[in-house]
Amino acid sequence: MAAKSLMELALAQAKNNKKMTEKQQKIVETAIQMFAEKGYASTSTNEIAKAAGVAEGTIFRHFGSKENLLLSVILPFLLDAVPVVADEFINEVLTKPYHSFESFLATLIENRLEFVSENKQIFKILVVELLHRDELREQLISFFQQAPYQHISAILDTFKQRGELVDLPNPTLIRTVLTQVFGYFMVRFALFPTLNWDDSLDVDQLVQVILKGIGKRN
């Protein structure tokens, strides 16, 4: 995985943003830092203002709301970061050899679990924005349909030929896996993050659930 979280990378990008005034830049840098340390929901605009050395009204005047403050930096940054994140995912997971579909699935889920865990604050906000922003959703889908989809599709073809998967169209198989994995991440990080989670056990069980759905039965 990347040495830095998306929040840390966004902070570095904000520091180099020449389009903002010095005061705006200070607000953004402070906000991202506090979001990363305390979490988005636990950070107030008043706390950001005090830490940045500005009046709270200055934040509202420049950004309108705490949400807009984050989105004005995070969403553009996410779109810029998608190719980098995708390349990292391809290199770490999709180009490795696997002796079984089960081992591939376990590696994929463990890798994305680590990634989402490192970036859970952004993940929770991104989930909300994907529901309301058609452009963002379409851009992410469009990118996924390129290199990552092609790699995953080739892997599925390999395991179909080995007789490990049911003979369904690859889009159907991918949607099935994505629904299960994304659903788990939603419950794990957005809906019930304070429950006593056992990630290792959960991954094993999630793999078995998916295999029972699309694995080839002898």
- pLDDT band with cut points at 50, 70 and 90 for residue 128: confident
- Domains of the chain (ranges; CATH) run 1-72 (1.10.10.60), 96-218 (1.10.357.10)
Helix 170-185 vs helix 147-161: crossing angle, to nearest 10: 110
Query: Of 57-61, 98-102, 132-136, 161-165, which range is least confident?
Result: 132-136
> What mean pLDDT comes out for the span 179-206?
92
**Angstrom distance (rounded) from CA 159 to CA 161:** 5
* Percent of the chain whose pLDDT exceeds 90: 45
> What mean pLDDT comes out for the span 7-12?
72
Task: Report whether pLDDT(2) > 60.
Answer: no
- pLDDT band with cut points at 50, 70 and 90 for residue 218: low
H-helix segments, 16-132: 22-38, 45-52, 56-63, 66-89, 101-118, 120-132
**Angstrom distance (rounded) from CA 107 to CA 62:** 44
DSSP string over 24-56: HHHHHHHHHHHHHHH-STT--HHHHHHHHTS-H
The SS3 of residue 165 is strand
DSSP state letter for 185: H
The helices-and-strands tally (H runs, E runs) of the chain is: 11, 0
Structural contact between residues 185 and 116, judged by C-beta atoms closer than 8 angstroms: yes
Structural contact between residues 45 and 59, judged by C-beta atoms closer than 8 angstroms: yes
Task: Report whether pLDDT(68) > 60.
Answer: yes
The pLDDT of residue 4 is 59
Task: Report whether pLDDT(105) > 90.
Answer: yes
The pLDDT of residue 190 is 84
Q: Is pLDDT larger for residue 197 or for residue 86?
A: 197
